[in-house]
């Protein structure tokens, strides 16, 4: 009898292997983890966190930031990773869990597709600076270039820092009294050499051929890395996700040895405890954590969907959250040690040279690097660092778009190489609008509106749909099935109450404090603002649109349609057919399904395929 049972079990295992849907899995142990770390640690982590930290209390800011990591960032990452791994589906197809909310998945893909357009433009700018760094004297160091104007000045000179500081003050005074706008050599290189800026968005001009080459190279790199799906990108990240940390360590060591570095780090970290008594630091900590973790873009769902069913995604989510926070903190040492050095050289206060956003990477840091010994060498390393940080995030977003399309149209996977190339080409064509003379204005509109409000709406609905409509109890059952244990009840509390409340808080605050897009002193015309709002709404309006379509697919009264549209489809569950059938039997009540979450450990009985969870009725499990 035991021999027969053993034979049945082995046969079941064999059939399970053959019944698995043809979906790739990460081939290496660390492919998934490194891809996730690379995606999470994006350019926003590098160029925004240090600035937000110093502005909101220095070291004291870490307290609300870590609190929000536990209450907001980590719960969302765990939710999306578990969601994607359980069903092995990308953001659109995965809403078999509750078809009424399929528009949430569509919205995620729309945001990722739009962001990929202008995000690769940043990578193109990086490549341009990289190519210009192979010179004995960096071209943004002096005002003796064809693109410079009579209003150009340098804040850092090789042997005349005191004289230069005096000149700087005199120029600043002149600027404030007669309205003349003086610009540093680095600023003019950015605006006149790289961007070749026009006066406004209504004067676009043609694409710049140098930036076009850089943009083509950027998209070619993305294509080569993703043309074979995760089998190729999973190997590339062993370089692109690890090398930035080697360079980060080099920059930290270099920074700490520079004159004025300690002053910069003190400026960055010196706690201002009184700041925590005000509202602003808590708001900005929540905003920074929300955007930093990359939730609601669909990338966590997509990358986790390629995991093996029993992968410990819970451990990976915690590691990624901690690494992202640590990287953001360490990047501040690089930025502020360099700014401290620059302030020392120019005899200016650090507050006068610190900025955030692209201006930090493409104006202030290049200016500071230009005054260092062996400046071309450090410039090359710096832009390699920025390039790899950028492409890792691009991998996650673009793979989300590709996987979503392949899941809907599986036949395209046979032509994956060609289709990936076509999609890269289409994104490149649309991105040409960002490399014209008016391109920076288009870029700013896209960056300002594409994801600011949309991400909060999508993550809020996602959180509520899974925790309340599908049910946190059933989702815990699903997680137990993958992990072999039950995670802490804490996460259910976050998903059902704390995290949605925080997202709502951020959303309302952003609405109240929202200002129309601008670029420096430039104010956009009304039609451009309307265009930006349309971009923002494009990923939100698909939610009610898809919901209406889904309701019309069902029969009966509105209440009956609504009830049926929120139920999981008949094929919802693990991708493996045998595991899926066993999962349904458990939930249907043929075997008592159960979960004990009170002590966080779970009381489990299992027959090997699906865990049996105690003290839960089939109705509760469903």
- Whether 18 shows a pLDDT value over 80: the answer reads no
* Residue 465, annotated as binding a ligand: no
Asked if residue 469 lies in contact with residue 566, where contact means CB atoms within 8 angstroms, the answer is yes
CB atoms within 10 A of CB 46: 24
Instruction: Please give the pLDDT value at position 405.
Output: 97
Taking only the tens place, the pLDDT of each residue in 95-110 is: 999 999 999 999 999 9
CB proximity list for 404: less than 8 A, separation 6 or greater: 90, 91, 92, 93, 105, 109, 298, 302
What mean pLDDT is reported for the chain? Answer: 88
* Residue 8, annotated as binding a ligand: no
CB proximity list for 312: less than 8 A, separation 6 or greater: 483
Rounded to whole angstroms, what are the CA distances from 505 to 275, 283, 496?
20, 9, 15
Q: List the alpha helices (DSSP H) in 293-438.
A: 299-304, 313-346, 358-359, 365-370, 375-408, 416-431
Instruction: Please give the pLDDT value at position 22.
Output: 65
Read off the pLDDT band of 615 (50, 70, 90): very low
- Whether 76 shows a pLDDT value over 70: the answer reads yes
* Residue 38, annotated as binding a ligand: yes
Taking only the tens place, the pLDDT of each residue in 253-266 is: 999 999 999 999 99
Q: What is the mean pLDDT of residues 169-187?
A: 63
Taking only the tens place, the pLDDT of each residue in 113-169 is: 999 999 999 999 999 999 999 999 999 999 999 999 998 988 765 544 444 544 554
Instruction: Please give the pLDDT value at position 172.
Output: 52
Instruction: Please give the pLDDT value at position 591.
Output: 37
542 conformational bin, left if phi > 0, alpha if psi -120 to 50, beta if neither: alpha
**399-436: burial string, b at 16+ Cβ within 10 Å, e else:** bbbbbbbbbeeeeebeeeeebbbebbeebbeebbbbbb
CB proximity list for 621: less than 8 A, separation 6 or greater: 473, 474, 477, 586, 587, 593, 594, 613
* Residue 41, annotated as binding a ligand: yes
Q: What is the mean pLDDT of residues 284-300?
A: 94
Instruction: Please give the pLDDT value at position 156.
Output: 63
Instruction: Please give the pLDDT value at position 586.
Output: 80
* Residue 451, annotated as binding a ligand: no
Domains of the chain: 33-140+196-552 (1.20.1740), 576-621 (no CATH)
Q: What is the largest CA-CA distance in the chain?
A: 98
Q: What is the mean pLDDT of residues 338-358?
A: 86
- Measured in whole angstroms, the distance separating CA 57 from the mean position of its chain's CA atoms is 25
- Whether 612 shows a pLDDT value over 50: the answer reads no
Instruction: Please give the pLDDT value at position 610.
Output: 38
- Whether 86 shows a pLDDT value over 90: the answer reads yes
- Whether 16 shows a pLDDT value over 50: the answer reads no
pLDDT-wise least confident of 86-90, 489-493, 575-579: 575-579
Residue 611 sits at φ, ψ, to 5 deg, of: -65, 145
What is the C-alpha to C-alpha distance for residues 423 and 403, in angstroms, rounded to an integer? 12
Q: What is the mean pLDDT of residues 460-464?
A: 97
Q: Torsion angle of alpha carbons 473, 474, 477, 478, nearest 10°?
A: -140
Taking only the tens place, the pLDDT of each residue in 505-532 is: 999 999 999 999 999 889 999 999 999 9
| 284 HSE (CA, 13 A, CB side) | 20
Q: Which of 157-166, 177-186, 601-610 has the highest mean pLDDT?
A: 177-186
What is the C-alpha to C-alpha distance for residues 372 and 621, in angstroms, rounded to an integer? 63
Instruction: Please give the pLDDT value at position 585.
Output: 84
Read off the pLDDT band of 349 (50, 70, 90): confident
Instruction: Please give the pLDDT value at position 183.
Output: 87
With a pLDDT cut of 90, the percent of the chain lying above it is 76
The closest of 538, 479, 418 to 117, measured between CA atoms, is 538
- Whether 533 shows a pLDDT value over 70: the answer reads yes
pLDDT-wise least confident of 21-25, 116-120, 215-219, 346-350: 21-25
Instruction: Please give the pLDDT value at position 354.
Output: 81
* pTM of structure: 0.89
DSSP string, 481-542: HHHSSPPPTHHHHIIIIIHHHHHHHHHHHHHHH----EETTEE--HHHHHHHHHHHHHTTTH
Q: What is the mean pLDDT of residues 428-447?
A: 97
Q: What is the mean pLDDT of residues 547-554?
A: 96
**521-556: burial string, b at 16+ Cβ within 10 Å, e else:** eeebeeebbebbeebbebbbebbeebbeebeeebee
Instruction: Please give the pLDDT value at position 157.
Output: 55
């Amino acid at each position: 009898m035991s021999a027969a049972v053993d034979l049945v079990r082995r046969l079941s295992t064999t059939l399970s292997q053959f019944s698995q849907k043809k979906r790739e899995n990460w081939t290496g142990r660390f492919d998934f983890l490194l891809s996730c770390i690379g995606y999470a640690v994006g350019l926003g982590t590098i160029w925004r966190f240090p600035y937000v930290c110093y502005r909101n209390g220095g070291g004291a800011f870490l307290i609300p930031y870590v609190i929000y990591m536990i209450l907001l960032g980590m719960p969302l990452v765990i939710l999306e990773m578990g969601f994607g791994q359980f069903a092995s589906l990308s953001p659109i197809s995965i809403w078999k869990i509750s078809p009424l909310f399929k528009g949430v998945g569509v919205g995620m893909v729309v945001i990722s597709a739009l962001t990929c357009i202008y995000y690769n433009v940043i990578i193109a700018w990086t490549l341009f600076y990289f190519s210009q760094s192979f010179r004995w004297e960096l071209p943004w160091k002096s005002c003796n270039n064809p693109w410079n104007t009579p209003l150009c000045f340098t804040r850092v000179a090789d042997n005349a820092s005191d004289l230069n500081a005096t000149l700087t003050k005199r120029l600043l005074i002149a600027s404030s009294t007669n309205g003349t706008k003086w610009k540093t050599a680095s600023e003019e290189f950015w605006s006149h050499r790289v961007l070749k800026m026009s006066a406004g968005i209504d004067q676009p001009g043609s694409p710049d051929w140098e930036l076009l080459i850089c943009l083509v190279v950027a998209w070619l790199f993305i294509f080569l890395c993703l043309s074979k799906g995760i089998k190729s990108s999973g190997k590339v990240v062993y370089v692109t996700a690890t090398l930035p940390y080697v360079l980060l360590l080099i920059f930290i060591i270099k920074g700490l040895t520079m004159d004025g570095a300690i002053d910069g780090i003190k400026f960055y970290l010196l706690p201002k405890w009184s700041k925590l008594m005000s509202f602003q630091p808590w708001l900005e900590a929540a905003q920074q954590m929300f955007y930093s973790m990359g939730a609601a873009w669909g990338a966590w769902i997509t990358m986790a969907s390629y995991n093996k069913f029993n992968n410990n995604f819970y451990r990976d989510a915690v590691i990624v959250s901690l690494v992202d926070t640590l990287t953001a903190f360490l990047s501040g040492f690089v930025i502020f040690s360099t700014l401290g050095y620059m302030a020392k050289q120019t005899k200016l206060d650090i507050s006068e040279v610190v900025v955030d956003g692209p201006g930090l990477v493409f104006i202030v840091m290049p200016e500071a690097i230009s005054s260092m010994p062996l400046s071309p060498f450090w410039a090359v390393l710096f832009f390699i660092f920025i390039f790899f940080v950028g492409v890792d995030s691009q991998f996650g977003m673009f793979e989300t778009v590709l996987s979503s399309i392949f899941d809907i149209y599986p036949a395209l996977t046979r032509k994956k190489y060609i289709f990936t190339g076509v999609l890269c080409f289409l994104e490149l064509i649309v991105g040409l609008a960002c490399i014209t003379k008016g391109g920076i204005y288009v870029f700013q509109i896209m960056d300002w509106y594409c994801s600011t409000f949309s991400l909060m709406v999508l993550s809020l609905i996602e959180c509520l749909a899974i925790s309340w409509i599908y049910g946190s109890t059933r989702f815990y059952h699903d997680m137990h099935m993958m992990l072999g244990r039950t995670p802490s009840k804490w996460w259910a509390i976050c998903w059902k109450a704390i995290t949605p409340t925080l997202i709502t808080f951020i959303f309302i605050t952003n609405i109240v404090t929202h200002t129309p897009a601008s670029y420096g002193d430039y104010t956009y015309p009304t039609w451009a603002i309307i265009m930006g709002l349309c971009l923002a709404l494009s990923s939100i309006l698909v939610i009610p649109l898809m919901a209406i379509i889904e309701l019309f697919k069902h029969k009966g009264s509105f209440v009956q349609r609504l009830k049926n549209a929120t139920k999981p489809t008949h094929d919802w569950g693990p991708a493996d057919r045998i595991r899926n059938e066993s999962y349904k039997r458990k939930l249907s009540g043929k075997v008592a399904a159960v979960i004990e979450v009170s002590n966080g450990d779970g009381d489990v009985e299992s027959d090997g395929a699906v865990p049996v969870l105690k003290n839960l009725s089939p109705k509760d499990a469903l």
